Structure 1
């Protein structure tokens, strides 16, 4: 049994660096690196790195879509693609070598028709027949209604297949019910509740409101460099981060979701599933572009995080 991921707004991720970023001037960049991008695709790459089976579902259009599908194939991720009329988007990141700052330019993506959206749901339903878990991750492209992930949750609820969601903005606001696990960042959760969440007490309260209101059963709140917070109806647990050298921050959150999904697939205790997610995210930080962490490094970091002194229940 496997994991299915859905990426409604995939991208061809282009990454390069230049000596210094400044306005107006032409900036000569290094040879670009091309990676298949988009939340669910990045999640799937981490699942494969951890040795589990996965199917990535995503729309493709134009020459960019063909190139994206080929890059996904090279990574070893099985896929189901949906042909759409408009071209797949590209995203660009440029690192300023003088200071290490990374500038990320994200474009909106193709406009999907109602028929194209429906075919994406059909492909997920077909792939989910042999799955134990579905992950929907990333933004929605133009033309896709804000409640698309809620429609997916309702569909999977009828099939009794749990859903993990990692999204932001309007699609996050539109979620109402049926999510097994929701993974927002502090910024995304703050935007959802409409006010800042400066401390763990406010973060915990906001996360638990989502559970009490029936939106999700579990919240894993990403605190970035400060770690993560796991919240259920009965318990909460804080997880300290692992310090790591950062080669690229792109896709680290998706790697965390990939580790979480694998932990749930393997029926780990929730705390250990979060630890695997943190290990996968930390390992991904050390790799270029959106490349997932090395499997051996993920295993090593997971072992570090399972040491008793590294985590604890927060009250």
Structure 2
């Protein structure tokens, strides 16, 4: 299997709990909290490990929260590579209202990066990436981090014969998909909301989404474009064709980590040299398994193995 390095620029300590009703003005007595190291790339590494693989994990971790996350990741067997150059690592909170089943997610913005941090981070990631590796850049950017950091990193890694899988949002995604995007990543993945935003209109059908994904490939934005449509599953487009895998019909407990579980399973299958339709099925089955778990927990391997036959990929 090929070496995998995940990158998390804006990690968070994910805290989850439950309460008997979310109402204003009262002290809400919550259950004992669960704390998990989070942020896109970290969650991708966790999902890969759950499914029997291993990835090296690069994360910008600072302060007491960062130290706590590093301890958890190290104690759970992750190969952690840290960079400290900003202020305190952020936290996030997910609360389930037991009366309604609704989940409330509070995401803090993260520390401001000084101007000199971004080039140092890019240089360190480039150093850690081996020729032939797959680098997964997943998650949001912290305040003060330039939008072009991911595009620039993709270009430098391509010069080292490193393939990249990118799953980001906001200004970073718009820069990657813009006219001056530079070297395209191997894989660009986004959810439906992000795709609608890029397209400038709602993509109301599976066919519209697949056509949009194909347009990203034809414009040279990425070699492989993936768009997730929630319960409808995900579509994947290359110059050779388009495929769709429908999500399994499962009870939804928490949507936290479903996208990262998809990327983790897809990356693991990709690193093992599996065909792209099979990689897509792995991703969708893992995302389906993730929504069945509580709070910030990710996919469980037993659920993934059971759901995988229910998520075949078909050409569209």
The verdict on a shared fold, with TM-score over 0.5 as the criterion, is yes
**What aligned pairs does 1:220-231 form with structure 2 within 5 A after superposition?**
220-231=226-237
Kindly report which structure 2 residues correspond to 1:241-280, keeping only aligned pairs within 5 A, or say none: 241-280=247-286
**Residue deviations 1:249-295, cap 9 Å, x none?**
11110000001101110111100001111121122222223323222
Query: 1:72: how far off?
Result: 1.6
- Cα separation, 2, equivalents of 1:10 and 1:282: 23
Equivalent residue, structure 2, for 1:312: 314
Indicate whether 1:158 and 2:164 are aligned: no
CA contact (8 A) 1:283 1:298 kept: yes
Shift of 1:104: 0.3
- In the alignment, is residue 212 of structure 1 matched against residue 214 of structure 2? no
Q: Is the 8 A contact 2:254 2:292 kept in 1?
A: yes
What corresponds to 2:144 in structure 1?
Answer: 143
User: Which of the numbers 199, 215, 218 marks the counterpart of 1:193?
Assistant: 199
Aligned residue number for residue 3 of structure 2? 2
- Residue in structure 2 matched with residue 183 of structure 1 by the alignment: 189
TM-score, normalization by structure 2: 0.94
TM-score (structure 1 length as normaliser) = 0.94
Deviation (angstroms), 1:173: 0.3
Work out the CA distance in 1 between the residues paired with 2:142 and 2:314: 39
Give, in whole Å, the separation in 1 of the partners of 2:9 and 2:133: 20
**Offset of residue 120 of structure 1:** 2.1
Cα distance in structure 1, aligned partners of 2:123 and 2:132: 14
* Partners of 1:223 and 1:3 in 2: CA distance: 26
Q: CA deviation at 1:200?
A: 2.3
Listed as ranges, the matches of 1:28-107 within 5 Å are 28-107=29-108
Cα distance in 2 between the residues matched to 1:150 and 1:237? 26
CA distance in 1, matches of 2:132, 2:112: 29
1:80·1:123 contact (CA, 8 Å) conserved in 2? no
CA–CA separation in structure 2 for the residues paired with 1:74 and 1:294: 19
Range 128-137 or range 154-163, more displaced: 128-137
3-state SS of the aligned residue for 1:53?
coil
Cα pair distance change 1:276/1:194, threshold 3 Å: same
Calculate the aligned-residue CA RMSD, in Å.
1.5
Q: Structure 1 residues 244, 197: CA separation in 2 closer, same or farther (over 3 Å shift)?
A: same
Structure 1 SS opposite 2:57: strand
Distance (Å, rounded) in 2 between the aligned partners of 1:212 and 1:198: 21
- How far is 1:170 from its partner? 0.8
Q: Is the 8 A contact 1:57 1:120 kept in 2?
A: no
Aligned length: 310
The question of whether the paired residues in 2 share the 8 Å contact of 1:82 and 1:119 is answered with: no
Deviations 1:155-178 (A, max 9, x none): 111111110010111110001232
Q: Secondary structure at the match of 2:92?
A: strand
Q: Distance in 2 between matches of 1:204 and 1:8?
A: 29
Residue in 1 aligned with 2:170?
169
In 2: Cα distance, 1:267 partner to 1:201 partner: 28
Structure 1 residue matching 2:150: 3-state secondary structure: helix
The CA deviation at 1:182 is 0.9
1:297 CA displacement: 2.7
Partner of 1:52: helix, strand, or coil?
coil
Deviations 1:136-164 (A, max 9, x none): 00100011011111011111111111100
Q: CA deviation at 1:51?
A: 2.0
- Answer whether contact 2:223 2:238 (CA < 8 A) is retained: yes
